[in-house]
């Protein structure tokens, strides 16, 4: 499988379930990211991997002129509909973090919330984040930490998937200061913050059902397996969530790294 084939799979996978159903589970991260970037009226703002619009809509409510780009046309359609319903004039388009559809230095702010981290060619994504921002412009990224609940969930999923192409970057490396500094340190003055977007639920089973209902890659993988493997995948995921049981609820910690940058 080539990087392009992997991205084609990712494009289809992210559109395979209504992400807006579970978007609220990371609202604390969206608030943290947009709050720290402090949108100003009239600023040109690009949100990369905009999903169903959480970050772009927050920035637009504060008066920024926002563009949202995502690999998945299903995400773009949902984000457009939601922005329209709220009367927000946001421009959405399909596009790849590794090849952003914009001229050089065309944005005052570039953001990406747990999205650019999934681009297989991490050097290309980093180059594009730098290219899109104007000199002295701001950058804000979030990425799950290695070992976070989401990273562990994806390790379980990986047992049921074909291996990724050779040379694909580990998405969770974007959750470490060292890796982000190596990728972006030449183009940006960087500053790091740690946050947590914990997930709670009444049981492992309830959390499995919740994420299956809204995380496209989980839904698509589950649907692609034969009945026996499906059951194995379900059971392994429920067991993972149950490891985080605290009394009568599940409390899964989901730490993330928030990177702020100032374009040199
Ligand atoms: C976990 S969702 C996050 C969505 C949104 N940023 C949020 O925080 O609610 C990851 C998003 O990244 C998008 N994505 C993955 N790879 C991408 C790429 N190479 N270029 C653009 N978007 C990408 C997916 O389609 C999906 O919408």
Residue located via tokens 């959390």: 207
Ligand 1 atom closest to Cα of residue 112? 6
Q: Tokens 């993330």 label which residue?
A: 256
In which domain, by residue range, is 19 found?
Answer: 3-146+167-201+254-263
pLDDT at 1: 81
Q: Tokens standing for 236?
A: 């392994």
Is residue 159 in some structural domain?
A: no
pLDDT of residue 151: 97
Q: Is ligand 1 within 6 A of the CB of residue 25?
A: no
Of the candidates 198, 208, 194, 175, the one whose C-alpha atom is nearest the C-alpha of residue 252 is 198
Q: Where does 17-79 show beta strands of DSSP type E?
A: 44-48, 65-70
**What 3-state DSSP class applies to 178?**
helix
Which CATH number do you get for residue 72?
3.40.50.150
The total number of structural domains that make up the chain: 1
Q: How far is the CA of 125 from the centre of ligand 1 (A)?
A: 12
- Is residue 213 one of the residues assigned to a domain? no
Write out the two tokens for 228. 């026996």
Residue 61 lies in a domain: yes
| Residue 51 beta carbon below 6 angstroms from any ligand 1 atom | yes
Whether residue 90 lies inside any domain: the answer is yes
pLDDT tens track, the chain, 264 positions: 889 999 999 999 999 999 999 999 999 999 999 999 999 999 999 999 999 999 999 999 999 999 999 999 999 999 999 999 999 999 999 999 999 999 999 999 999 999 999 999 999 999 999 999 999 999 999 999 999 999 999 999 999 999 999 999 899 999 999 999 999 999 999 999 999 999 999 999 999 999 999 999 999 999 999 999 999 999 999 999 999 999 999 999 999 999 999 999
Determine whether the shortest distance from the Cβ of 148 to ligand 1 is under 6 A: no
Does the CB atom of residue 10 touch ligand 1 within 6 A? yes
Classify residue 114: in a domain, yes or no.
Answer: yes
Two structure tokens written together for 69: 């780009």
**CA 161/CA 225 separation, integer angstroms:** 9
Predicted confidence at residue 148, as pLDDT, reads 94
In a domain, 214, yes or no: no
Kindly state if the Cβ of 60 falls inside 6 Å of ligand 1: no
Domain assignment of residue 19, yes or no: yes
Q: Please give the distance, rounded to the nearest whole angstrom, from the Cα atom of residue 231 to the centre of ligand 1.
A: 27
Cβ proximity of 17 and 215 under 8 Å: yes
Residue 228 Cα to ligand 1 midpoint, Å, equals: 30
pTM of the predicted structure, to 2 decimals: 0.97
Cα–Cα distance list, 171 to 6, 104, 118, 236 (Å): 13, 25, 5, 22
Domain membership of residue 211 (yes or no) is no
């Amino acid at each position: 499988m080539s990087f392009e084939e992997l991205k084609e799979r990712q494009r289809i996978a992210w559109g395979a379930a209504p992400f807006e159903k579970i978007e609220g589970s990371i609202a604390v991260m969206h608030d943290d990211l947009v709050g720290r970037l402090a949108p100003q009226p009239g600023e040109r703002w690009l949100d990369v991997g905009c999903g169903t619009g959480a970050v772009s809509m927050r920035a637009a409510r504060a008066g920024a002129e926002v563009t949202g780009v995502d690999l998945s046309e299903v995400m773009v359609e949902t984000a457009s509909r939601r922005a329209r319903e709220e009367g927000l004039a946001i421009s959405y388009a399909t596009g790849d973090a590794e090849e952003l559809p914009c001229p050089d230095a065309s944005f005052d702010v570039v953001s990406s919330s747990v999205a650019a981290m999934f681009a297989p060619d991490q050097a290309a994504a980093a180059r594009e984040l730098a290219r899109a921002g104007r000199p002295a412009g701001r950058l804000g990224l979030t990425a799950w930490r290695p070992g976070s609940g989401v990273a562990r969930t994806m390790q379980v999923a990986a047992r049921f998937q074909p291996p990724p192409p050779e040379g694909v970057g580990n998405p969770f490396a974007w959750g470490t200061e060292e890796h982000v500094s190596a990728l972006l340190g030449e183009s940006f003055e960087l500053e790091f913050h740690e946050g947590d977007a914990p997930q709670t639920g009444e049981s492992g089973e309830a959390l499995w059902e919740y994420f299956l209902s809204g995380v496209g890659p989980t839904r698509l993988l589950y649907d692609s397996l034969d009945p026996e493997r499906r059951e194995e995948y379900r059971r392994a995921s429920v067991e993972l969530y149950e490891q985080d049981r605290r009394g009568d609820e599940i409390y899964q910690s989901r730490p993330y790294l928030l990177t702020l940058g100032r374009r040199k």
